[in-house]
Amino acid sequence: MRTAFTRSIVAGALALACFTSTGLAQAPVPAAQAPAAAPTANIVVDNPTYISIPLEIAIDRPAAEVWKRVGKYCDIAEWLQIPAGCKMLSGGEGEVGSVRSVANEVLVGKTEFSYTYTQTVRAGRPYNLYHGTLEVRPVTDKTSRLYYTLIYDNSMLPDDGAREKDKAARTATFTRAIQNIKTLAEGGKLTPR
């Protein structure tokens, strides 16, 4: 009797071992837990090289007036002259955590006359930590200074020449943008691109 019982236990253990080694017996996945995603390209950069592009311009208007004219989160479409415009994809205008359609940028911080945004991580692309801050500071009761600062990692570009070209292109784009902000804030009209 003991031999038959022992054989049953051994047979059951062998069957269970075969069943689990073939992958047929896996712990059930709870309904709220999604299965693991298929592996994608590594988005982590091993040796990032962060650079910043600080820009500034004087504006002949009080800071509050400047911010009222150009400081809404989707005002970027006007002063960067984005043909597709800008719309809020989630959240409300000016709310931390809201997302605008321009590069799916997320508002990550704000003050009375500033905001900071980031571009999100995207599958299959190295993450460059791209952030931008738009800020207006009062200088006098009738004048202000606008600051636009970009920071990002350019280490994934192939060489120094490509990094210099990228920085020059971004600097030119955002120099034009702050000049447009000045024009709009001072009551002028932009020349169509």
pTM: 0.77
CA torsion sign, 28 to 30 to 36 to 37?
Answer: positive
Tens of pLDDT along the chain (193 residues) come to 444 444 443 344 434 344 334 343 443 444 445 455 555 567 888 889 999 999 999 999 999 999 999 999 999 999 999 999 999 999 999 999 999 999 999 999 999 999 999 999 988 888 999 999 999 999 999 999 999 999 999 999 999 999 999 999 999 999 999 999 999 999 999 998 8
Helix, strand, coil share of the chain (percent; to 5): 35, 25, 45
Residue-level length of the chain: 193
For 175, the enclosing helix (H) or strand (E) is helix 160-185
pLDDT in the model for residue 46: 84
Give, in degrees to the nearest 5, the angle at Cα 103 between 98 and 107. Answer: 25
Q: Which domains does the chain have, with CATH numbers?
A: 50-185 (3.30.530.20)
Q: Please tell me whether residue 178 adopts helix, strand or coil conformation.
A: helix
Closest CA to 139 of 69, 68, 63, 67: 63
Q: Token pair of 54, please?
A: 């600080």
Closest CA to 132 of 154, 117, 114, 113: 117
